[in-house]
Amino acid sequence: MDSLKIGNITLPHRAVFGPMAGFTDAPCRRLMAQHGAGFTVSEMVSSRALVYHDHKTVSLLKAEPNGAPYGVQIFGEVPQIMGEAAAAIEEYEFDFLDINMGCPAPKIVSGGAGSKLMLDPDLCGRIVEQVKAHTTRPVTVKMRKGWDADHITAVECAKACEQAGAELIAVHARTREQMYAPGIDPDIIAKVKAAVKVPVLGNGDIHTAEDAVEMMQRTGCDGVMIARAALGDPWLFERVNAAIEGLPAPKEPNLQARMNALRRQVEEMVEQKGEYTAMPQARAQTMHYMKGLKGAAALRRCCCTLSRLEDLDELITAVFEEQRKAGLDPDDVREVPFP
């Protein structure tokens, strides 16, 4: 299987980490890349905020070397402003520029951006055209199946974006109306793949390595985009990559490795943002690491109270204690000394 490329960028793997508001900060991106994400993407940033040099927005773009290509994702509904936003961030370090045409959040679509763009394939093309005209980086697009059951427009939008210069298209196989349920429609990914020549990534409902392989086989897509399922389980990328590449499944991480990854991620968040800002954000991150543990409900309640870094050590101690109480031996020999 040939390498997957975005323009002149060769991806190390075909499973990539998708952006999620409130989660895909630099520590999270680095963790995912460390475990095999083919690329990572910034949280979605407003084109208008970039044009007006909003410093808080610009801080979201900060790239950290993590061993995988890194993209900045922007959103907006006005082609000229999207182009100006692309020009405004040319000085920053990143590898490609991603345009969001898939976000279903009411505050985004009410302004005409995100998945609202799926109602107007011509506008999608003009946005890509303007962004391409103002950046030296490859341009990619993240879109949905369409707006609702009466407006299934992914094929038309993908063709317009490709014609305007997009070099990769990721398709979340649900409409905006469906949000994140029910199950995805793999057929729309197959239709987009058949309609364009640029690489296509399939997105939605990939929880296991088998899910990823099945999506690629069924749709013919070139790779998969994984988001929510990798939170608390960055090793999912290792399993998916092995399955796609026909390699033996990697060894599952033990509890010690999982808690070390959690501790490193939160510690980096505190280093970057300060304890006051980072710890409330870390509550949601830590909850994902409780999946599948004995006493998970009680442990998640503990996650909701985190306010200092030392609270995290108390949570991790409780994690090991809950497993012992359940008759498990969690092998508590911690690889990384906690400060």
Which residues are annotated binding-site positions for FMN? 19-21, 73, 142, 172, 227-228
Size (the chain), residues:
339
Helices (H), the chain: 26-34, 47-51, 55-59, 79-88, 106-109, 121-133, 154-164, 186-195, 209-219, 236-244, 255-273, 275-288, 296-303, 309-325
Query: Which amino acid is residue 28, in one-letter code?
Result: C
Sequence-separated (6 or more) residues with CB below 8 Å from residue 140: 6, 71, 96, 97, 98, 99, 166, 167, 168, 169, 170
How far apart (Å, rounded) are the C-alpha atoms in residues 303 and 327? 23
How far apart (Å, rounded) are the C-alpha atoms in residues 254 and 304? 24
Element (H, E) at 163: helix 154-164
Q: Are strands 15-17 and 168-175 parallel, antiparallel or unpaired?
A: unpaired
Q: Which two tokens stand for residue 77?
A: 């509904």
What is the three-class DSSP state of 95?
A: coil
Residue 302: active-site member = no
Going 137 to 114 to 161 to 29, the CA torsion angle's sign is positive
User: How many CA atoms within 13 Å lie on the side-chain side of 85?
Assistant: 28
Contact (CB, 8 A) for 162 and 125:
no
Burial of 274 (0-12, 13-18, 19+ CB in 10 A): exposed
Q: Which two tokens stand for residue 253?
A: 């991480």
How far apart (Å, rounded) are the C-alpha atoms in residues 289 and 36? 18
Sequence-separated (6 or more) residues with CB below 8 Å from residue 337: none
Catalytic residue among 28, 103, 157, 161: 103
Q: Which two tokens stand for residue 118?
A: 């799926």
Q: Catalytic site residues?
A: 103
